[in-house]
């Protein structure tokens, strides 16, 4: 991991420890997902993730959030918010988000008080300072902390950390509530929200990855990723989209030639003399750039880098010197279930290498602890309590591979000592 990012990450873990107990505003988006995952790993049951559902979010988004909560074993609660019942929100002024966040944070604060939890936290990052965010005023008024921002972590760095931790959706587009599709001043109604949701759902069915349908009364302005704009050169596709959108009630359907920009409705806002220009999402093309940040030190050798491996549909990182293998969360169990055969340096050399007493997590830089497989006490594996990564050193791989362990076992469950 890049040293600057590593420093920020370690500081983030320290911040979370100092918070002691938290209610996390968990929307299921990239930022709050990372925060919910780490607070659960660091604080255990003293971390509670709360998701708010309302007319401005789709049922599919709630289902995805529930799935993530299950995968991460979060203490998870779903509450309802009613933004449209607030006239100040429904009128859609430029500080609309303030009223939304005010209601949300008040409810989260009540949950924190009910459960005797010290802090409410959200997934705001340093990048969010580059856009108009009136919801931050509500966060300040209700003493909501933002650990990612406090640690100086940007949106791009959230993706990098999530990738290193093996979290799902690390490369998915940023999300925003459906209310963000309206120009300020146009009244928001439940009917219009359903119209937008249906229009965006249709585009996703056509396999567009990044989608926004901006609602200008009877005009739909479509924003898609810049690499997807060329698809609209197909006459048949344009006809199908136009027909479906007319069925949904739009008179005119347009394509925004600049493509998707985060916060494009904020272009004309000027607050205290500062202009907030819409941001072209820099993170969507990160798959290549991320590789330079994935260089991890071997937990045992320390002075050798782990190399990416993809064997039998199993992805892991391996040290070319000692043969040890690093797996992100759940990947070791998958690899063993698929009967992966590990490539190792000369077996005699590997088996004679001394084991390090306390290998260090290459992601979190914390000491690994020993875990064992249920019913397989002879297998020696180390794990990180924070990121749930697994480390099997070269001598152990050589020993188990020599006796045929990996070819015999098709299912394995790991647990902490």
Q: How many residues does the chain have?
A: 417
- Partner residues linked to 25 by β-bridges: 50
Q: Are strands 369-373 and 376-383 parallel, antiparallel or unpaired?
A: antiparallel
Confidence of residue 242 (pLDDT cuts 50, 70, 90): very high
CA 378 to centroid of chain Cα atoms:
35
pLDDT of 76 reads 97
CATH topology of domain 3-169: Rossmann fold (3.40.50)
Question: Distances from the Cα of 19 to the Cαs of 16, 121, 165, 234, 396, in angstroms?
Answer: 5, 9, 22, 53, 38
Q: Are strands 22-25 and 47-53 parallel, antiparallel or unpaired?
A: parallel
Residue 325, judged by CB atoms within 10 A of its CB (0-12, 13-18, 19+), counts as buried
pLDDT of 128 reads 86
**Torsion sign (Cα): 177, 178, 179, 183:** positive
pLDDT of 356 reads 56
Which two three-digit tokens encode residue 365?
A: 């830089």
Question: Please, how many CA atoms are within 13 Å of residue 111, restricted to the half-sphere of its CB?
Answer: 27
pLDDT digits (tens, 9 = 90+) for 320-373: 888 899 988 777 777 776 767 888 887 545 556 655 568 888 888 778 888 776
Which residue would you say has higher pLDDT here, 64 or 365? Answer: 64
- In 312-398, DSSP assigns E strands to 314-318, 325-327, 369-373, 376-383, 390-392
The verdict on pTM exceeding 0.75 is: no
Cα first-last separation, the chain: 28
- Partner residues linked to 119 by β-bridges: 22
Q: Which range has the worst mean pLDDT, 41-55, 63-77, 288-302, 353-367?
A: 288-302
Backbone angles phi, psi at 169, to 5 degrees: 80, 15
CATH topology of domain 179-261: Alpha-Beta Plaits (3.30.70)
- Average pLDDT rounded to a whole number, residues 216-227: 95
The residue extents of the domains of the chain are 3-169, 179-261, 295-416
Q: Which range has the worst mean pLDDT, 184-198, 279-293, 376-390?
A: 279-293
Question: Distances from the Cα of 70 to the Cαs of 66, 85, 118, 130, 281, in angstroms?
Answer: 6, 31, 24, 33, 29
């Amino acid at each position: 991991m890049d040293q600057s990012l590593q420093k920020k990450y370690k500081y983030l873990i320290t911040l979370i420890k100092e918070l002691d107990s938290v209610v996390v505003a968990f929307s299921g988006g990239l930022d709050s997902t990372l925060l919910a995952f780490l607070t659960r790993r660091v604080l255990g049951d003293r971390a509670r993730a709360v998701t708010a559902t309302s007319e401005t979010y789709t049922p599919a988004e709630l289902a995805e959030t529930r799935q993530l909560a299950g995968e991460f074993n979060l203490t998870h609660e779903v509450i309802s918010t009613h933004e449209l019942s607030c006239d100040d929100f429904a009128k859609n002024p430029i500080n609309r988000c303030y009223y939304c966040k005010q209601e949300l944070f008040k409810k989260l604060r009540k949950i924190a008080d009910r459960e005797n939890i010290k802090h409410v936290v959200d997934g705001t990052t340093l990048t969010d300072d580059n856009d108009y965010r009136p919801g931050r005023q509500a966060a300040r008024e209700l003493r909501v902390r933002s650990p990612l921002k406090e640690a100086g972590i940007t949106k791009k760095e959230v993706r990098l950390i999530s990738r290193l931790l093996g979290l799902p959706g690390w490369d998915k587009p940023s999300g925003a509530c459906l209310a963000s599709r309206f120009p300020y001043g146009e009244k928001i109604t439940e009917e219009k929200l359903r119209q937008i949701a249906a229009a965006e759902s249709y585009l996703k069915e056509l396999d567009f990855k990044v989608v926004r349908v901006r609602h200008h009364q009877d005009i739909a302005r479509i924003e898609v990723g810049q690499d997807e704009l060329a698809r609209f050169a197909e006459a048949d596709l344009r006809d199908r989209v136009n027909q479906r959108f007319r069925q949904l009630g739009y008179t005119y359907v347009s394509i925004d030639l600049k493509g998707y920009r985060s916060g494009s409705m904020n272009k004309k806002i000027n607050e205290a003399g500062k202009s907030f220009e819409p941001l072209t999402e820099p993170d969507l093309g990160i798959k290549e750039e991320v590789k330079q940040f994935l260089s991890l030190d071997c937990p045992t050798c320390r002075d050798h880098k782990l190399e990416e491996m993809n064997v039998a549909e199993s992805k892991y990182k391996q040290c070319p010197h000692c043969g040890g293998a690093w797996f992100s969360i759940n990947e070791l169990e998958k690899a063993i279930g698929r009967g992966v055969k590990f490539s190792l340096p000369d077996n005699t050399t590997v088996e004679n290498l001394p084991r390090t007493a306390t290998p260090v997590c290459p992601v979190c830089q914390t000491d690994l602890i020993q875990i064992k497989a249920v019913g397989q006490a002879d297998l020696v594996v180390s794990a990180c309590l924070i990121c749930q990564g697994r480390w099997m050193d070269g001598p152990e791989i050589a020993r188990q591979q020599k006796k045929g362990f990996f070819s015999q076992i098709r299912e394995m469950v790991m647990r902490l000592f």
